[in-house]
Amino acid sequence: AQSVTQLGSHVSVSEGALVLLRCNYSSSVPPYLFWYVQYPNQGLQLLLKYTSAATLVKGINGFEAEFKKSETSFHLTKPSAHMSDAAEYFCAVGFSGNTPLVFGKGTRLSVIA
């Protein structure tokens, strides 16, 4: 069965520091991979999506993620954290055939001034 593991339920960084949120997936077929962000009392907003066109995917708000097949990883990074990045981040995996997404448990990002 396909699954997603997000390492670290809570990550804290200083403003201006590198943001690294980890996501590993398990899949027997080529996956589609997503990162979503959720701000308090809101729904999920798409940050970026991997569809096999390029291994490095650039998203909104300066985030990017790199697909590494050998490591079955899709970690999310941002060079310099901003206070407005404080939110919960979800990694999700999906597959062709209109299948439902499988979400990780989420990582709450705190940004310290």
Partner 1 sequence: KAGVTQTPRYLIKTRGQQVTLSCSPISGHRSVSWYQQTPGQGLQFLFEYFSETQRNKGNFPGRFSGRQFSNSRSEMNVSTLELGDSALYLCASRKWDRGGSLETQYFGPGTRLLVL
DSSP code, position 59: -
Q: Which is nearer to partner 1, 17 or 22 (CB)?
A: 22
The Cα–Cα gap between 100 and 5 comes to: 17
Query: Using the rule CB under 8 A, which residue among 94, 107, 109, 111 binds partner 1?
Result: 94
User: Toward partner 1, which CB reaches closer, 17 or 49?
Assistant: 49
Q: Does position 96 bind partner 1 by CB under 8 A?
A: yes
If one asks whether residue 106 binds partner 1 (CB under 8 A), the answer comes out as: yes
Q: Which of residues 6-65 bind partner 1 (CB under 8 A)?
A: 32, 34, 36, 41-46, 49, 51
Dist. CA 98–CA 94, nearest whole Å? 8
| Dist CA 109 CA 82 (whole Å) | 11
For residues 42 and 27, give the distance between their C-alpha atoms in angstroms, rounded to a whole number. Answer: 30
Residue ranges in contact with partner 1 by CB under 8 A? 32, 34, 36, 41-46, 49, 51, 90, 94-106
